[in-house]
Structure 1
Amino acid sequence: MGWVFLLFAGLFEVVGVVGMNQINKHKNIKAYLLFIVGIVMSFALLSQAMRTIPMGTSYAVWTGIGTVGGAVAGMLFYGESKDWKRILFIMMVLSAAVGLKLIS
């Protein structure tokens, strides 16, 4: 169950990052709520995950999901570069997170 908590913690981190970007663009209550809910849920779920998954592994996978998710959200919704080299390195981060799951 810890890995499910960790996956959702990473996804909510992406929600928080999208909210942060929305704050920079719009500065409205919806953007602030998106940011706050994303970050609070992310930390709460990360805390739950760390009850069964070692701290180092949890943190590495959580930041990896957030990094990949933030980069992909930027490419899909905010017109960021989709250069093949960028995608290659995003895949490397993702493969490292999967590797940590496989050896844990």
Structure 2
Amino acid sequence: MGWFYVVLAAVNELIGVWGLNRFSKQKNIANALLYAGGLGLSFTFIYASFDYLPTSIAYATWTGVGTGGVVLMNMLFFGESKSIIRMVSLLAIIIGVTGLKVV
């Protein structure tokens, strides 16, 4: 159940960041709800995961998946650079989070 909460937290973090990106360009209630709702739910789910997983593992996974997801989302949908250095850096995040889970 803990990992399910971490996944929900990461997905909602992506929704919140997407809303933040939209809100920074067009300030309206729908974008504000995406932003605040996504991040609010993200914090709620990560907090719930602490009942099942060590805080250090759950939090590190959530931040790693969220960071990697946001980078991918911005590269795919918002035109950010797709340079090889960014790809290698993203891979390093994935390896680091995976390493924490395995160890």
TM-score range, shorter chain: over 0.9
1:35 alignment partner, SS class: helix
In 2, the alpha carbon distance for the partners of 1:28 and 1:41 equals 20
Q: Partner of 1:79 in structure 2?
A: 79
Q: Which runs of 5+ in 2 are unaligned?
A: none
In 2, the alpha carbon distance for the partners of 1:27 and 1:91 equals 34
The alignment status of 1:35 with 2:35, answered yes or no, reads: yes
With normalisation by structure 1, the TM-score equals 0.93
In 1, the alpha carbon distance for the partners of 2:96 and 2:14 equals 18
In 2, the alpha carbon distance for the partners of 1:7 and 1:41 equals 12
In 1, the alpha carbon distance for the partners of 2:75 and 2:33 equals 23
* Alignment-mate amino acid for residue 92 of structure 1: A
Q: Partner of 1:49 in structure 2?
A: 49
With normalisation by structure 2, the TM-score equals 0.93
Aligned CA-pair RMSD: 1.0
- For 1:1-104, what aligned pairs fall within 5 Å after superposition? 1-103=1-103
In 1, the alpha carbon distance for the partners of 2:53 and 2:10 equals 14
* Alignment-mate amino acid for residue 86 of structure 1: R
Q: Which runs of 5+ in 1 are unaligned?
A: none
Offset at residue 29 of structure 1 (A)? 1.2
In 1, the alpha carbon distance for the partners of 2:24 and 2:52 equals 36
In 2, the alpha carbon distance for the partners of 1:21 and 1:6 equals 23
